[in-house]
Amino acid sequence: MLLLRFRYLPAPRSAWFPSPFSFRFFRLLHESPMAATQGSGGALEKPALRGLVFDMDGTLTVPVIDFSAMHRAVLGDEGYVTAKSGNPGGSIDILHHIEALAPQEQRRAYEVILDFERQGLDRLQIMPGATELCGYIDSKQMRRGLITRNAKASVDLFHQRFGLKFSPALSREFRPYKPNPAPLLHICSSWGIPPNEVMMIGDSLRDDVTCGKRAGAFTCLLDESGRYGPLDALRDDLRPDFVVSSLAEVQSLLDAHFELLPHPQKAQPSICVR
């Protein structure tokens, strides 16, 4: 089997911002939808891209929720430690844990989460580069959607506060939620665009990248702080096609690696207002 692997090694961390060439990327042509096709002239043609789907918290908005504190408040100290140690990556799928609770405990747990999310809304900030990236996507007449494990009320407030309209925008009321690919496949279906012409962008390997990979979409991990470190050793179902350290890098990535195509029937124009 032919395996072609390209990787641009990252510049030193201090040089990552804001160079347009600072993104790291991975291409596994036999495994990802990145498979380029060979044109009649023999040159490799860029794959088509017609839509982008974003995570919200930590991707379109600056991270403000203390997830460790939230998880500890829901699970208790002992349950928190047990949940952390039971997961090789140390991350906790809190919604999954809540679903295993008795109904009364579930209600209490959701109230705790909503309280943390409400506090987060008070400090909500748009992620640097998000407005510009949305404007660029709109200028190409591409689609943009949103998938979050946050509540619909938070998505509504996000739309109101920043004037950015994503459609569809699926919150955790849509079941099953990420990392299940169902919400992303639902968006692709509603757009009439195949998943291999869509990119999922988010700051979580476990939720966003896994959701995108399972759906058969391109995936881009936003890793602002370098918390994930080298990704070469990751399993195929977790390894993103691209890694960026800021949304400002995404436009260059799109221009360099994709044929950006408008959706043929853009019935619901997106709004992007500063």
Binders of Mg ion: how many residues, by CB under 5 A? 5
Closest approach, Cβ 149 to Mg ion, in A, equals 8
Contact between 117 and Mg ion per CB under 5 A: no
Output the six-digit token pair for 80. Answer: 């928190």
Query: Which residue in the shown chain puts its C-beta closest to Mg ion?
Result: 58
Give whichever of 204 and 219 is closer to Mg ion, judged by the CB atom. 204
Closest approach, Cβ 207 to Mg ion, in A, equals 7
Contact between 223 and Mg ion per CB under 5 A: no
The Cα 3–Cα 44 span in angstroms is 15
Q: How many helices (H) and strands (E) does the chain have?
A: 8, 12
Cβ(144)–Cβ(52) below 8 Å: yes
Give whichever of 55 and 117 is closer to Mg ion, judged by the CB atom. 55
Give whichever of 117 and 203 is closer to Mg ion, judged by the CB atom. 203
Contact between 57 and Mg ion per CB under 5 A: yes
| Residue 237 designated active-site | no
Closest approach, Cβ 59 to Mg ion, in A, equals 5
Give whichever of 203 and 223 is closer to Mg ion, judged by the CB atom. 203
List the strands of the sheet with 218-222, edge to edge.
Answer: 5-7, 24-28, 242-244, 218-222, 198-202, 51-54, 143-147, 169-170
Closest approach, Cβ 135 to Mg ion, in A, equals 22
Which residue matches tokens 């909503």? 114
Tell me the window of 16-24, 51-59, 137-145, 231-239 that interacts with Mg ion (CB under 5 A): 51-59
Q: Which residues contact 165 (CB under 8 A, 6 or more apart)?
A: 159, 270, 271, 272
Among 57, 203, 207, 223, the one annotated catalytic: 57
Tell me the window of 13-21, 48-56, 159-167, 223-231 that interacts with Mg ion (CB under 5 A): 48-56
Give whichever of 64 and 234 is closer to Mg ion, judged by the CB atom. 64
| Residue 236 designated active-site | no
The Cα 244–Cα 250 span in angstroms is 7
DSSP SS3 for 239? coil
How far does Cα 168 stand from its chain's mean position?
14
DSSP SS3 for 113? helix
Bridge-partner residues for 115, per DSSP?
none
Contact between 203 and Mg ion per CB under 5 A: yes
Cite the active site residues. 55, 57
List residues binding Mg ion (CB under 5 A): 55, 57-58, 203-204
